[in-house]
Structure 1
Amino acid sequence: MDLNLASQHLRLLADSTRLRLLLLLEQEELSVAELAAILQLAQPRVSTHLAKLKEAQLVIDRREGVSVYYRRASDSSKQELAELWQLLSKTTDDPLVQQDRERIPQVLASRNGGGSWADAVAGDMERHYSPGRTWEATTRALTALIGLGDVLDIASGDGVLAELLAPHATHITCLDISRRVVEAGRRRLANFDNVTFEQGDMHALPLDDASQDTVFLMHALTYTTQPQQVIREAARVLRPGGSLLAMTLAEHKHKKAVAPYDHSNL
């Protein structure tokens, strides 16, 4: 890389707005309007920066109807520029960047017409961060060691856990209160014969007594103000000797940070 090319690359990435855009687009696919809302900048300014990043092959776009969504390019012929960006992305740590990331769930909910965070990411939940999702790594490590029998996954979302557990279970019932999430889960796991999705309330489970060998409450209790009732219902549907596994966030003071995720039990 000669001095002229090095200078061009450095000028491109010397702008803080372009760095913020790249960090956002590495995490989420977003439109100009959504990026402008997150960065709290005018759309023309955002569009100008995106044009430069696209020309440099650092971002690509995708059209969906009348909307255009941008994301970080996974491949680029400009290897030196891509390597420079990777170095910056790994070492950039700024409160403004964190604020940008915290606005993503609100923007996704608005894309969904004001629906919940879960509705906004239905069918694609494993790509989206939300507080308390660290259980997934633990689950991946443990699933090969256990036989689960008939499983109930309460507040299942679109089936991330069920997809991991299906090879080790006789049958999995995924229950969620959101119709849209349930429909997304059915599409997502359509090829799994032993997984079914039901729309229902975890406070009054639509299942028979003693019908399940294992019940999961993975990050479900943060969505209720009546956790005791939810646990009573989970115990009701368990067979004698069955297992109930629950994980949730500990009490915390970060109400603003979790507000976009519709948590009830803080």
Structure 2
Amino acid sequence: MNDVLDIFRTLADPTRLRILALLRQMELSVGELAQVLGQSQPRVSRHIKILADARLIDRRKEGSWVFLALGDPARLDPIFAAIDAWSVDQGDHWGLADVARLAAVRADRAAAAERYFESQAANWDAVRSLHVPEAEVEAAMARALGQRPLGRLVDIGTGTGRMLELFGARAQSALGVDRSPEMLRLARAKLADRGVDLRQGDMYALPLDSGSADTVILHQVLHYAQQPALAIAEAARLLAPSGVFCIVDFAAHDHEELRSRDAHARLGFDDDQIARWFAAAGLDGGAVDSLPGDVLTVKLWLGRRPAAIKDLAA
């Protein structure tokens, strides 16, 4: 009973209800949340502490930023069911204004990333090689994927098409998706005679059918994602039973300068984060390799779509 009272006391404030509603849409930093709410960071931080103490939200520090996400779904689902049942169809004034300002935050993030990608397209492969030598990363990927046929291969955020160049010959079909037309132009020039397919698309809404891939690669892309959990869920949607999802990205670090210099949205990831996101997307798996560099460590995580019942019985 005391736990129930704590939850209702916590939610007896319109700002804290607004914070929960915003975090249902996407993870936000404290600064972004203050921007959307139109309140000072100290004031927003007090509300965040109350929500975190009630175990309704989680806080995660990345460098000098703190990112906020919803807490345990088992704790929050009944709350959101009640809120949704009691809400009026047309929404309230503050809710509509928050949605509009949140869209502006998303647009600012996307525009900054797109400017960076356009400026770096011509030397993208060189940019990627600034950390652990790319040959070492590619060898680790080959080990992780094993000798099995890759089937229908999809490379999300394909950039200049290096993953398709490397693994396309082992696949029944190979397709790369990228949001940047300039990146795709360079990939088409590089892969003109490889028989691969290239499409423009967003990693949060891929132009592909569910279950249409046997192998999905997300190579050095996730740290640019505004919503990494959503990007993983969307990639996992593509996997057929027994399909494999390979993520290559940085281990968690504190090199804050990468946000402004290289448009990184996230300062790497830890194994528990990826494992939770895999589980939420219906995948088994976790970390399979770690490649320390002079500054950053590259990690490989492998997720698998469980086999269908008929496959298990065979």
Structure 1: gaps of 5 or more residues: 1-113
Which residue in the other structure is 2:204 paired with?
203
Which residue in the other structure is 2:152 paired with?
150
Matches within 5 A, 1:1-266: 116-129=115-128, 134=133, 136-140=135-139, 142=142, 145-193=147-195, 195-257=196-258, 259-266=260-267
What CA distance in whole angstroms lies between the structure 2 residues aligned with 1:123 and 1:248? 21
Q: CA contact under 8 A between 2:153 and 2:168: conserved in structure 1?
A: no
Structure 2: gaps of 5 or more residues: 1-112, 268-314
| TM-superposed deviation, 1:133 | 6.0
Q: Which has the greater radius of gyration?
A: 1
Q: CA contact under 8 A between 2:158 and 2:177: conserved in structure 1?
A: yes
Distance 1:133 1:208, change over 3 A: farther
SS of aligned partner of 2:242:
strand
| Counterpart amino acid of residue 256 in structure 2 | K
Q: What is the number of equivalent residue pairs in this alignment?
A: 152
Q: CA contact under 8 A between 2:153 and 2:173: conserved in structure 1?
A: yes
What CA distance in whole angstroms lies between the structure 2 residues aligned with 1:133 and 1:155? 19
TM value normalised by structure 2: 0.44
Which residue in the other structure is 2:279 paired with?
none
| TM-superposed deviation, 1:135 | 5.5
Distance 1:215 1:133, change over 3 A: farther
Q: CA contact under 8 A between 2:259 and 2:265: conserved in structure 1?
A: no
SS of aligned partner of 2:121:
coil
Distance 1:133 1:198, change over 3 A: farther
Q: Which has the higher strand share?
A: 2
Deviates more, 1:234-243 or 1:115-124: 115-124
Distance 1:135 1:217, change over 3 A: farther
What CA distance in whole angstroms lies between the structure 1 residues aligned with 2:135 and 2:208? 26
| TM-superposed deviation, 1:139 | 2.2
| TM-superposed deviation, 1:115 | 6.5
> How much identity, in percent, do the aligned residues show?
32
Cα-Cα RMSD: 2.5
What CA distance in whole angstroms lies between the structure 1 residues aligned with 2:257 and 2:123? 24
Distance 1:130 1:259, change over 3 A: farther
Deviations 1:35-58 (A, max 9, x none): xxxxxxxxxxxxxxxxxxxxxxxx
SS of aligned partner of 2:160:
coil
What CA distance in whole angstroms lies between the structure 1 residues aligned with 2:232 and 2:198? 20
Q: CA contact under 8 A between 1:123 and 1:188: conserved in structure 2?
A: no
